[in-house]
Structure 1
Amino acid sequence: MDNNTALQPIIEAKNVWKEYGDHVVLERLNIRVMQGEFVSILGTSGCGKSTFLNMLLGTQSPSRGELLLDGKPLNSEPGPERGIVFQKYSVFPHMTALQNIMVADEFEASRLLGKVWGSGKTALKDKAMDQLDKLGLAHAANRFPSEMSGGMQQRLAIAQALMKKPRILLLDEPFGALDPGIRKDMHVLINQIWQEQNLTIFMITHDLQEGFKLGSRLWVFDKPRYDPQEPERYGSQVTFDIPLNTPGQEALIADLQAKQQKEVA
């Protein structure tokens, strides 16, 4: 890797706006994220967190400005370099765990080669079983999602998202529906995956402690300007950008906690 590549952000937003008619969701968004960073994203409901994630995924496009991947305009449709996991288990209920993991590769192979048979089918199955094994689900390969616990279903969704070996993993409140004990285990798992695979991760969460615990950087989406007469006139920006596990972060965290407590009151 040369110096220019090392300094090139994997994701960059340059004066990005997202508007729906007169409703401004995001405005003047300027961010740079380097390969391997883990960004936890906090903010109130409706502040544009999921809109931003959808733009990263490619299901929505900026209204103005540029959203870049490796210095080039991001594709306006989902691509294999980006995987996503939602809060609600996004696996196919009529397929077994193994079939859920194989389906993307089978579809691609059949599109290019026609129906996959013999050694090709075996290779796809072996690859899928290896992915299930890494996520601790090899024993559940032939189970349907309805026969699996919430934690297992979310592990399956993560395995599915990682099957195409993405560089960027998008997590939209992935642990919000899990019990505290299972949630803690999932924290360990996602941290392990992040470090082993050098993924760039963007994770939306409503849990302040979870945001501080996971990742290398914490963003807060909020409106720096607000008109009570026209609440949709202005959009959100990243108002806090806190590097985690670094000296001096305690003061920034205290400010953020005080601000959230004031909003609740």
Structure 2
Amino acid sequence: MSNANKPMLQIKNLWKSYGDTTVLENLNKNVAAGEFVTLVGTSGCGKSTFLKMLLGMETQTRGDLLLDDQPIGTEPDQARGIVFQQYSVFPHLTVLQNVIIAREFEKSPLLGKLFGTPKKALVSEARQLLDQVGLSAAEDKYPHELSGGMRQRLAIAQALIRKPRILLLDEPFGALDPGIRADMHALILDLWREHQLTIFMVTHDLTEGFYLGTRLWVFDKVRHDPQAPGAYGARITYDLSVGDMPSDTLNQIQQSLNPADTSSASASGESL
């Protein structure tokens, strides 16, 4: 296989357990550079755990998780940026300062500051990024002066300033009202294309997963043992290219994730 055809990420026989409790079992997937993978599933099924494994905050119990044929590092690095639902901003810094601080510590770990030409270049780059996420007019504001949607835009700019190859989104829009979420959807799609990102996004909203992603993974626990409830973990039960979906698949997924809900979801969808 040529390098051009090699997957960026390889997941091989991956298991994750905590003591006697298995969270994820036997995951096997390949992901190419530039894909936008959305992850849905019931609460506690391991979606966020998998995202943390991609980031390097968690390690697998067995199996392999490879980035460019190499094991993913055990600590977060520049190649992988993450945006959580809870905004990870520094309240005592302005919008512009929040964006540049990570790069300043990266370039000057002892002082945490840059000066002269390097500082001017970084500020210019940060301002271009703030313009892309729609925060140019707010660069001198502090986080408490921003709306929820603006703080989430700031968190995305913080992640992108480090030029990650992989962007990890952990329910980033769950706390936003529908109108702002629609604006954020358009923004993240624009940024995905412009920055040529590979994105993994956890969402509780099935419709959002189908709308944003090029590929949808459904995490579900299919094996159960009443005598040993922690013996089995979730698997990826659906792996779908969004544009190639059979007409009844949405209903099947909705019912598998909400077994108590006997109503059908339309193609326009309901939230999980």
Q: Which interval holds the TM-score relative to the shorter structure? A: over 0.9
Q: Unaligned stretches of 5+ in structure 1?
A: none
Answer yes or no: is the 8 Å Cα contact 2:220–2:257 preserved in 1.
no
Answer yes or no: is the 8 Å Cα contact 1:212–1:244 preserved in 2.
yes
Higher helix share: 1
Relative to structure 1, the CA distance from residue 115 to residue 86 in structure 2 (aligned partners, 3 Å threshold; closer, same or farther) is closer
1:205, distance to aligned residue in structure 2 (A): 0.5
Q: Unaligned stretches of 5+ in structure 2?
A: 263-272
Q: How many residue pairs align between the two structures?
A: 262
Residue by residue over 1:106-130, the C-alpha shift from the partner in whole angstroms, topping out at 9 and shown as x without a partner, is: 1122238885222222222111111
Distance 2:257 2:113 in 1: 54
Residue by residue over 1:172-228, the C-alpha shift from the partner in whole angstroms, topping out at 9 and shown as x without a partner, is: 000000010000000011111111222111000001111111110111101121112
Range 70-79 or range 153-162, more displaced: 70-79
Answer yes or no: is the 8 Å Cα contact 1:243–1:249 preserved in 2.
no
Show the counterpart of 2:159. 161
Which residue of 97, 111, 120 corresponds with 2:118?
120
Matched, 1:242 2:240: yes
Show the counterpart of 2:48. 50
Aligned CA-pair RMSD: 1.6
Answer yes or no: is the 8 Å Cα contact 2:105–2:112 preserved in 1.
no
Relative to structure 1, the CA distance from residue 162 to residue 114 in structure 2 (aligned partners, 3 Å threshold; closer, same or farther) is closer
Which runs of structure 1 show a deviation greater than 6 angstroms over 4 or more consecutive aligned residues?
A: none
- Letter of the 1:220 partner, please give it: V
Answer yes or no: is the 8 Å Cα contact 1:91–1:145 preserved in 2.
yes
Show the counterpart of 2:175. 177
1:258, distance to aligned residue in structure 2 (A): 3.2
Distance 1:219 1:123 in 2: 40
Show the counterpart of 1:11. 9
Fraction of identical pairs, as percent: 57
Distance 1:250 1:174 in 2: 28
Residue by residue over 1:220-242, the C-alpha shift from the partner in whole angstroms, topping out at 9 and shown as x without a partner, is: 10112111232111011101111
Q: TM-score, normalised by structure 1?
A: 0.94
Relative to structure 1, the CA distance from residue 133 to residue 114 in structure 2 (aligned partners, 3 Å threshold; closer, same or farther) is closer
Q: How does 1:103-142 map to 2 (within 5 A)?
A: 103-111=101-109, 115-142=113-140
- Letter of the 1:231 partner, please give it: P
Q: TM-score, normalised by structure 2?
A: 0.92
Show the counterpart of 1:199. 197
